[in-house]
Structures are given as C-alpha cells and as structure tokens.
Chains A and B, each alone.
Chain A
Amino acid sequence: MEIMRLVVTGPVGAGKSTFIRSVSEIEVVDTDRRATDEALLIKKRTTVAFDFGRLQFGPDMALHLYGTPGQSRFDFMWDILIQKAHAYILLVAAHRPHEFREARRIMMFMQQRSPVPMIIGLTHTDCPNAWDAANIALALGYPNPNRRPPLVTVNANETASVAQAVIALVQHTWSGSLATT
C-alpha cells in the first residue's frame, strides 16, 4: 500500500475540519469537542486531537489527510502530525487579520520541524472585509512574490475547490521532488 499523508493546519476557524470533510471519502474521524475558549466566538466545536480523512484512488494507493487543532496549546499534536507528513497546507481566513500572526507562528513551528513542501490556502475570501492575496502574503512574511510558497484560494465547503487545493499541494510536492532528484 502506497500512502501519501497531507496535513491541514492553520489558526482556529480557518476551515481545517470542513476542508477535510469536503474531500474525504470515508466518514471523517474527528475529535471535536464543544469549544469553551475564544474559539466559541467563531464556532461551536473545536478539534482537540486531529481530524482524519481518506481518499482511496487505487487498490493500493490512498491519500490520508490529517487536520490539526488550531489552538497553540495543542502544539504537541502539531508536532506529532507533521513528523510523518509528506506536505502540508496552511489555511488562513482572509477576513481575519487578527489571525495572521498566529498563522505565521504555526508556519514557523512546522518549518522548524519538517522541511516538507507547503502551500498556503486562503479561505473566506468572499467575505466583505477579506484582504487580497498579495497583502496576506506580506502579512505572513513573504515580501517577495517570487520567493514564497504557492498561494491558492479555497472554499472549504466545496469539494471541487478543496480538490483543486489538494492538486496544487500535490503538484507543488511533485515539482519539489523532481527538482531534488
């Protein structure tokens, strides 16, 4: 069995669990609990261990998707999940500039622990106060458009949109593997 493991990470409420639910073919293994912290302002339930989704696309080929919790108190889960990941996507809600710094912290955490390829997925881009991609890239610490991970827009509720984002991540991984071999 050949398996590729992708991690979906990002701050609270970026759409990680929704993302996985939209593309998984099995009923997603979730570990969400009623939120009692500041996450409650955004949503009712929050992931406390991880979400797990799967796509089986051949008799011996499968894609596994792991969603991390958003709060930094679960950073031990971030660490566990990133160790075995082939690549990851950082989801950032485009209309919550409040979270950009947190997204940056998560990214630093992941980059320090794993050199695997990553892309940035912008969610909630249709909200009235959403920032555009160029400015979010700046806020995430990428002033040079030629030297940053790929940025994609994704609607976590739509299977097609999520599939598109996963394609972008897989292709980015692919190009990386071609470059190094």
Chain B
Amino acid sequence: MTVTGYLADFSLPELFQLLEQGNKTGLLTICTLTDTLTAERFNHHIWFSQGQIVAAGNALDQRGLMRLIAQRGWMGDNAVSRLAQTCQINTPLGLCLKNQGVLTAEQLKLLFYTQVMRQVCALFALPDGWFQFDPKAPTPRAEMTGLIATATDVTLAGLRALKDWNALAEKLPDPSSALVSTVEGKPSLRLNPNEWQVWEFTNGTMALADVAKQLNLPVAKAQQIAFRLIVTGLAEEMPLMATPPTSSANLIDPESLELGVASTTSSGAAPVSNSFLQNLVGFLKGKV
C-alpha cells in the first residue's frame, strides 16, 4: 500500500527507518516547492529494494545514471546508451558497464556516492515536502550502479553532516526524556565518539539534559545525537517524570479500599477471575 504524507509530519529519517524495517521495495518520491512564488515543483526519487537504497535521481526517464557518467567525461551519452542496450534486463547498468570493462570499481563507487549519498543526504535539510512511497514501481536497472546503501547508513551520514536542524526540531527527543537501548549488547553500527558517549547512557534513567551536562555537550547537540540513535533503531525515547511517583497515586482509585485485601502490593491491579472475563466478553458481544 502506498504511504503518503508531509515531511513536516513524518520526517525523512523516520520514513527511512520505516522503509528499512519494513523491508520495503519501491519508489519514494519527495515533492518540494523550490520557489513558493512560482510554485515550481521539484521531484526527488529514491529507489528501495528490500529496505535498502539502490538508486536516486531527479527524473524518471531512466537516464539519470547515464547523465552522471557523461558529466564525469568518462563516456559520451550516446556511447553509454548503446552499451546499455547490450546489458541483460536484470543487471544494474553500473554493474553491466563494469563487467564490460568500461568502468572500474572505483568509478562505480564514485558514481554511487554522487548519485545516492550526496543527493539523499541533502534532503535531510528540507523544511517540508510531500512524500509518496509506491511499492509497485519497478526497480530501475538503468539507474542502478549495482551498489547499495542501508537506509540507516544514509540517515547516519546525512544527520551527522546536517548543519541546520530547524526542520527536525520538533522531532527531537525532549531534554527531560531519557534514552533506553533497544538492541542487545553493543550496537553493530559504526558510531562516532560523541554517539558512543551518549549511547553509554541508554539505560532509561538519566534525562538528556543531564547527559549533556555530564558530557559537556550543549543540550541541543545531545538531543541531535539521541535522535540519530533513535532513528537508526538503537534506542528509544523514554519520557521521565519530573517527580517520582508516590503513594498518593492510590488516592485516585475509589475501589482501592474494597480491593485492598486482594491487592497486596501498593501498585498494580488485583487480578480478575476468569468467570468475570467470560461474563464481560459475553456482555460486550451483546453490544456488537
């Protein structure tokens, strides 16, 4: 099913995480207004295969990669198109050209860097944009180098390089929240020193503001690092309360006196019987 929305509502890092965790294959299109006066639209396309990014471009004409090769001066436009026709239908163009000895592995890497890493990383600064993910779009062999990047790696690289965090300000975890790890043991991602430092505090007890103080980091910086850990699936935001829960929590409960016998602990609910549940379900079924 297609997924649509606005980046201001559901940010690009969140979207990448969703596509990766869902092992999605298809085409993500992000439509931005480059000029609000002329209402000129600009489309960015990112192709996913099983949750990984395989290609990116600004057009759907299947000639983006060829243009990049021509721009490098490695080969003329026409020459590439001719060679492309000899490629097998399922082979990515880049890989095919490498197999034919026209491009080196290094050149392929450079192409992928320009096409995917540089273009996609720039999108994290977008203040807004309409997005659509179409799982039915075919995988474009002519746009593919044959190299792939995980969405996590792209997100991490993009957010590390991000200077202006305004677009994501609302998405950052609250300074009063803590982080809690969602992976077993240590993360397998290559984290930078600051990220490791913040990672050490993912035990769900210390507020980010305090973590920042401890590490001598500005709070905003700690929030940004925390956000990176969250959208790469390493940690989750855990809201902390300013004041610890106290025994007064019981006051609200009008039945606590009646149930007091059954409930031995100060918190938690007294269990209900199976016949109660059975009766309740039967009663509710009468309302359906």
The 7 A-B pairs with the shortest beta carbon distances in the complex, nearest first, are A143-B21, A98-B9, A97-B10, A57-B283, A163-B287, A132-B1, A83-B267
Nearest CB to that of B239 among chain A residues? A109
Is B37 positioned at the interface, with any CB of A under 8 Å from its CB? Answer: no
Number of A-B contacts (CB under 8 A): 135
Do A135 and B1 contact each other (CB < 8 Å), given the known contacts A75-B239, A104-B236, A141-B236? yes
Which of chain A's residues have a CB closer than 8 A to the CB of B284?
Answer: 55, 163-164, 166-167, 170
Contact residues on B (Cβ < 8 Å of other chain), bracket: 35 or more
Is A114 positioned at the interface, with any CB of B under 8 Å from its CB? Answer: yes
Q: Is the CB of A83 within 8 A of B245?
A: yes
Residues of B participating in the A interface, judged by any CB pair closer than 8 Å? 1, 3-5, 8-10, 14, 18, 21-22, 171, 174, 177, 180, 182, 204, 236-239, 241, 243, 245, 249-250, 252-253, 255-256, 258-259, 267-269, 271-274, 276-277, 279-281, 283-285, 287-288
Residue from B9, B21, B269 in contact with A84 in the complex, judged by beta carbons closer than 8 Å: B269
For A64, A85, A167, A177, the residue with the greatest tally of chain B CB atoms inside 10 Å of its CB is A167
Do A96 and B258 contact each other (CB < 8 Å), given the known contacts A57-B279, A139-B14, A164-B288? no
Q: Is the CB of A109 within 8 A of B277?
A: no
Which of chain B's residues have a CB closer than 8 A to the CB of A100?
Answer: 10, 14
Q: Is the CB of B279 within 8 A of A61?
A: yes
Do A72 and B269 contact each other (CB < 8 Å), given the known contacts A4-B276, A171-B281? no
Query: What are 27 contact pairs spanning A and B, CB under 8 A?
Result: A1-B255, A2-B272, A2-B273, A4-B269, A64-B255, A79-B245, A80-B245, A81-B252, A83-B250, A84-B252, A85-B269, A86-B271, A98-B9, A105-B237, A112-B180, A134-B22, A138-B21, A138-B22, A139-B10, A159-B287, A166-B284, A167-B281, A170-B284, A174-B274, A174-B277, A177-B271, A177-B274
